[in-house]
Amino acid sequence: MKQNEILSNIRLNGDKIEFTSDDMMDEMGDNHISTSVDTPMRADAFDKSDEEKMSLIQDHFKAIMEVMGLDLTDDSLKGTPKRVAKMYIQEIFSGLNPANKPSIALFENKYKYNEMLVEKNISFYSNCEHHFVPIIGKAHIAYISNGNVIGLSKLNRLVQYYAKRPQVQERLTMQIGKELQAALGTEDVAIVIDAKHLCVASRGVEDDTSSTITAFYGGAFKEDKRKEEFLRYLELKTEF
């Protein structure tokens, strides 16, 4: 699609970008473009209870299966709409609900450890917001304490929280980085994410060998020396 065609299909609605062409929206998804650092949510996103949402999703997913011609009287399929609804709300998209955000307790850095701390190989499963198929990857996190430290497991939980929503990898990286900066009260935070996108592997170009790497560097990690130190740690073999 040419630039003038793209521009002709974009309009502004307040601070939001809207697209007037289905082809343009398809191209946005195929080109892995995100429109906001914040997950796009409507103002009424939590007016319905989880039970109400699951009931509606169950009905809608049942209709999708029926359109595809599946026999919902079959013992293997008849429970699928309910299972999918429960999975969406209570599991793979539970990070959409702020009530599920992990609490982050800080502790005084009494041992005066002033070098970077690195938590690497944090496994996560997310879902591409353009096609709702999995993103499977690992996150690597580093920070330098300015007086407080965070429990190691909270780093994993924070990654899982932001991963459990329809995502774009660039947004996921930024959300984790900015959340840690705010929680720790320091700019000295770095994130690297390496992930495989099934929207690339299982459809479209069907490339099963490529992965996507994104990074977030704040504060001291913008300096080449600190950045290189962090990346060297990621090369260490630490499997036991």
> Which residues pair with residue 137 across a beta bridge?
124, 195
pLDDT, one tens digit per residue, over 122-173 is 999 999 999 999 999 999 999 999 999 999 999 999 999 999 999 999 999 9
Domain boundaries, the chain: 1-31, 46-92, 107-235
Q: Read off φ and ψ for residue 147, nearest 5 degrees.
A: 135, -20
| Of residues 174, 190, 183, 173, the one with CA closest to residue 124 | 173
- What amino acid positions are annotated as catalytic residues? 128-131, 169, 197, 199
Read off the pLDDT band of 6 (50, 70, 90). Answer: very low
Q: Is-contact 82 27, C-beta < 8 A?
A: no
pLDDT, one tens digit per residue, over 95-104 is 999 999 999 9
Q: Name the region of 193 (left: φ>0; alpha: ψ -120 to 50; beta: rest).
A: beta
> Would you identify the CATH topology of the domain 46-92?
GTP Cyclohydrolase I; Chain A, domain 1 (1.10.286)
Q: If you count them, how many residues does the chain have? A: 240
What's the maximum distance between 2 C-alpha atoms anywhere in the chain? Answer: 64
* Rounded CA separation 128/150 (Å): 29
The CATH class of 107-235 is alpha beta
pLDDT at 35: 64
| Of residues 162, 157, 156, the one with CA closest to residue 140 | 156
